[in-house]
Chain A
Amino acid sequence: MGAPSRIAFVCPRWPGEGAVGGAETLLKALARRAAAGGAEVTFLTTCAASHHTWENARPAGDAELEGLHVKFFPVSPRDAGRFAALNGRIGRGGRLSPDEEKAWWANGVRSDELVEHLKQADYDRVVTGPYLLSLTRDAVFAAGRDRIRMVPCLHDEPFARLAGVAEMFRACGKCLFNAEGERQLAQRLFGADGARGDVVGMGMDDFACDAAGFRARHGIDAPFLLYCGRREPLKGTPLICDYLAAFRSRTGRDLRMVFTGTGEIECPAKIRPFVTDLGFVDEKEKHDAMAASLAFFHPSRLESFGIVLFESWLAGRPCLVRDQSPVLKAQCRASNGGLWFRHYADFEEEVLLLLDKPDVADALGAAGRTFVLREYAWEAIDRKFRAAML
């Protein structure tokens, strides 16, 4: 069979202003590359903007956005309370009965109209993700084994052990994994049958950034660590302020923290003056912040790729990640662009090293940058993506 020419991307939200999900960003980037490569691409998504409420925030219909033909469909009515209660139980490692799991899927984020469209339209391939949304599962079964390609963004978490997730992976023609570690996790959880597919990832475009401009705009002279993205316990963000408070108090060093992204920051009152929350910022501002930072601090254990790590490296700065995050640690080890910590004591030593030896921090950042430019150029990713579509 030749290269598929009509490709649909099914994504829970349009990754525009206000939405900062990595999976959505990845799907949009792959869609834009496929369209630029000559495929007829349609981007199917919901009218929701917030991943907390999933309320329909924009009208349904068609739009041309960033070079893509986008179709917006409404999120179907659901019992969000029932979903949240079951979701909380799964997150805490509790077991669900088959009926409860069925209720969890039924009350998750779904769009009946989108799925109906998928069944009727005649796409050669349907690319969807991430794995833990009901919409993704519906798309997998609606498109069928031959046409579906899932970008799972799989994490080692209680949700991955649901019976319905294993069923979905086994029903998938191929997965497009972001890293070898993620593919191995799928194999461990679902067997060879549930881990068919290739490691594709996402290409990264180089960018210019202005560290001095960022510092001047925000009046930040002291060294700071940066976190960009959603702030929530699953991402490990409460740990950031706890570590910052202990570091400032124990070492007496003036280290600051800058956040971009959305969500609440849990921050003790005594360090609030040393934390800057910029909220949602555009890409240029984010890249400037990365270039101005001492390092990018990524406390999440549940990452399948970590786009922000790659961006930070392109900005020439090192990263600090957790030892318990297999994918991020592997990326740091492979690139020599970052350090990993098991606990606060490691963190304290590593930050002191970066503060006291700027040449080491710069060398780590430079190594990361070289790695991204060499290994994650779009040309290489395009080849892998085309192969995964066959």
Chain B
Amino acid sequence: MEDAILSVSTPGVDAAALVASIRESVAKKAAAGAYDDARVAVAERTNLLALQGDGDFMEFFLHSLRQSVFVDIGDIEIQEKRRFFTGFFVKLKKGIWALLRFYTYRLWSQQNQTNGILVTALEGLWEKSKAREAELVKRIEALEKRLDGRP
């Protein structure tokens, strides 16, 4: 029987047990906020479609997304690689950046508002679909009970 090929296990190390203990550790760390990190949300950009069916993951992802959604316009370090007139160039760049910030502030604040609204909408949709799923499960269970009672 071909099933046997996939049921054979090699003694010595248990991969399933390792994965289970890793998941336990991840759950603890997630609860402690270890993955509330914009970098985690960015890393999952190509994984989202694959994880649509994973309810736990959606909670985790929405949480990470919340951390990365607001663009911090002040979070840019001004650097200068030239060895000569370094101080001058840094000051010049800082001046240009200050002007850019002043003139684009409205744009960025609007973008942050939009991002925030989108995440809130996503969270709302997620909550709504969870509530709907729970209601459907209840109805199915009630129907199954009624069917079980039939002769």
The interface of chain A, by Cβ under 8 A from chain B, is 179-181, 183, 198-199, 201, 233, 236, 238-239, 242-243, 245-246, 249-250, 301, 322, 324, 330-340, 342-346, 349-350, 353, 360, 363-364, 366-368, 370-371, 374-375
Q: Are B46 and A339 in contact (CB under 8 A)?
A: no
Per-position contact with A for B9-24: 1 when CB-CB < 8 Å, else 0? 1101111101100110
Q: Does B147 contact A (CB under 8 A)?
A: no
Q: Are B46 and A233 in contact (CB under 8 A)?
A: yes
Q: Are B19 and A340 in contact (CB under 8 A)?
A: yes
Q: Are B39 and A375 in contact (CB under 8 A)?
A: no
Interface residues of B in 23-43 (CB under 8 A from A): 23, 25-26, 29-30, 34-35, 37, 39-40, 42-43
The 4 lowest CB-CB distance pairs between A and B, nearest first, are: A246-B43, A199-B2, A367-B10, A363-B13
Q: Are B12 and A343 in contact (CB under 8 A)?
A: no
Q: Are A336 and B14 in contact (CB under 8 A)?
A: yes
Interface size, chain B (Cβ < 8 Å): 38
Q: How far is the CA of A351 from the CA of B11 in the complex (A)?
A: 22
Q: Is the interface of B mostly helix, strand, loop or mixed?
A: helix
Q: Are A346 and B39 in contact (CB under 8 A)?
A: no
Contacts of B70 in A (CB 8 A): none
Q: Are B54 and A342 in contact (CB under 8 A)?
A: yes
* Given known contacts A334-B9, A342-B54, A375-B8, A364 and B15 CB-to-CB distance under 8 angstroms: yes
Q: Are A349 and B13 in contact (CB under 8 A)?
A: no
Q: Are A339 and B10 in contact (CB under 8 A)?
A: no
Q: Does B3 contact A (CB under 8 A)?
A: yes
**B15 nearest CB across to chain A (Å):** 4
Q: Are A360 and B22 in contact (CB under 8 A)?
A: no
* Given known contacts A322-B50, A375-B8, A333 and B16 CB-to-CB distance under 8 angstroms: yes
Query: Could you say which of B22, B23, B60 has the most chain A C-beta atoms within 10 Å of its C-beta?
Result: B22
Q: Are B39 and A367 in contact (CB under 8 A)?
A: no
Contacts of B19 in A (CB 8 A): 339-340, 346, 350
Contacts of A198 in B (CB 8 A): 2
Query: Could you say which of B3, B42, B43, B54 has the most chain A C-beta atoms within 10 Å of its C-beta?
Result: B43
Contacts of A236 in B (CB 8 A): 46
